């Protein structure tokens, strides 16, 4: 690692734990130090012991981390972030459904997606970061899809914020993007049967959707004023047909590129954004470790490169990939750190937290 501690970044890593469903070998929320000059990673211990924190979200005002508890009777918990990178639990609440797998902070609203029954729970966030009262009734749904072993019913897999009032829900079980305005459902856009929408990346009026079941990336134009969307097309998530062999996980927009993790192919795919966002063009695949479930962009500064840090779930490790600023394509730095069953990577601006002081 660099001698300059101020340059290092803190990454929080969500894991599956022995008491989560599915179970794993993690201890809760782990800490990793990252050097953006080299891509080097170092284990910094366990930040919080909590069951099944398979997805994490951060709110800067005040510095708070939210973690799902992925179990049949799901929960979501809030953690105060200290200047020494430790976490203190502030409390928890029911996820309002079963097997929560995603949490999103949008303004002062917390959205929790429950995979088992397709329910999305919405909570208000208190000024001190704690989880407040429900912001709306739980968003329930019904329906199914043609992949009978995965789409027997609704499976809310994630939410994405279009703006402070509008959310989209990706429902893997019903092949829909469901629209929500101010906590109320307003309609849905049907994607091609068997898509299995998992996660979304929003770029202005365009939404790029990782199809877990068809191994494609779909692009949608969304009109928040009208509350409607238009499916513009899709591309293979790995650059070639891989349905049933590779299962896209995370999707992120970074500058003029979109990145997708492919579990099975075990790559991060790079796509160039074309036609102002209406079309994606496959550029490259970069090996990323076994079963790359989630990843995050860690931005460099003062001339340092940007990186992708990938949670290779089945490999039990994080991998750092340096993004070529000219081509947008990430390359493996060779740096790894062992973490049991890592499933989520969350960069936390710990230096800003230190400078601002704890609340």
Local mean pLDDT, 10-residue blocks, the chain (359 residues)? 60 98 98 95 97 97 97 98 92 98 97 98 98 97 98 98 96 98 95 98 98 98 92 98 98 98 98 98 98 97 92 98 97 98 96 65
Which pTM does this prediction carry? 0.96
Our CA angle for 24, 296, 313, nearest 5°, is 25
- Side-chain-side CA neighbours of 68 within 13 Å: the count stands at 36
pLDDT of 83 reads: 85
In degrees to the nearest 10, what's the CA dihedral of 168, 154, 175, 115?
Answer: 60
Confirm if 315 and 290 have CB atoms less than 8 A apart.
yes
**Whole-number Å distance between alpha carbons of 129 and 79:** 8
pLDDT of 2 reads: 41
User: Which domains are delineated in the chain?
Assistant: 12-356 (2.130.10.10)
CB atoms within 10 A of CB 347: 18
**Whole-number Å distance between alpha carbons of 77 and 50:** 9
pLDDT of 4 reads: 45
pLDDT of 6 reads: 55
pLDDT of 352 reads: 77
Output the six-digit token pair for 297.
């962009």
**Whole-number Å distance between alpha carbons of 90 and 291:** 32
Output the six-digit token pair for 240.
């070639």
Does residue 204 come out as left (phi exceeding 0), alpha (psi in the -120 to 50 range) or beta?
Answer: left
Burial state string for 7-42 with b = 16 or more CB within 10 A and e = fewer than 16: bbbbbbbbbbbeebbeebebbbbbbbbbbbebbbbe
pLDDT of 357 reads: 61
């Amino acid at each position: 690692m660099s001698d300059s501690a101020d340059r290092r970044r803190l990454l929080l890593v969500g894991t599956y734990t022995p008491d989560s469903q599915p179970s794993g070998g993690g201890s809760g929320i782990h800490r990793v130090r990252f050097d953006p000059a080299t891509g080097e990673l170092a284990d910094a211990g366990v930040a919080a012991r909590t069951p099944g924190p398979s997805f994490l979200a951060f709110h800067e005002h005040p510095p708070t981390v939210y973690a799902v508890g992925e179990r049949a009777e799901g929960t979501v918990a809030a953690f105060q972030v200290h200047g020494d990178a430790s976490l203190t639990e502030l409390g928890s609440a029911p996820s309002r459904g079963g097997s929560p797998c995603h949490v999103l902070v949008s303004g002062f609203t917390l959205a929790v997606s429950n995979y088992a029954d397709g329910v999305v729970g919405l909570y208000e966030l208190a000024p001190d970061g704690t989880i407040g009262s429900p912001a709306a009734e739980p968003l329930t749904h019904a329906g199914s899809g043609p992949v009978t072993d995965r789409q027997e019913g609704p499976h809310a897999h994630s939410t994405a914020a279009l703006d402070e009032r509008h959310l989209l829900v990706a429902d893997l079980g019903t092949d829909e993007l469901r629209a929500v305005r101010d906590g109320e459902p307003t309609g849905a856009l049907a994607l091609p049967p068997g898509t299995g929408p998992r996660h979304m990346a929003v770029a202005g009026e365009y939404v790029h959707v990782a199809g877990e079941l068809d191994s494609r990336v779909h692009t949608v134009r969304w009109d928040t004023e009208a509350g409607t969307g238009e499916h513009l097309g899709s591309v293979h998530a790995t650059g070639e047909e891989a349905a049933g062999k590779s299962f896209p996980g995370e999707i992120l927009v970074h500058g003029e590129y979109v990145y997708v993790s492919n579990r099975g192919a075990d790559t991060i795919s790079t796509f160039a954004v074309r036609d102002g966002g209406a079309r994606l063009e496959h550029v490259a695949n970069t090996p990323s470790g076994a079963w790359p479930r989630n990843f995050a962009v860690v931005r460099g500064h003062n001339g340092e490169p940007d990186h992708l840090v990938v949670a290779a779930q089945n490999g039990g490790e994080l991998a750092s990939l340096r993004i070529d600023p000219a081509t947008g394509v990430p390359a493996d730095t060779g740096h790894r750190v062992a973490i049991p069953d890592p499933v989520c990577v969350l960069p936390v601006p710990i230096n800003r937290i230190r400078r601002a002081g704890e609340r």
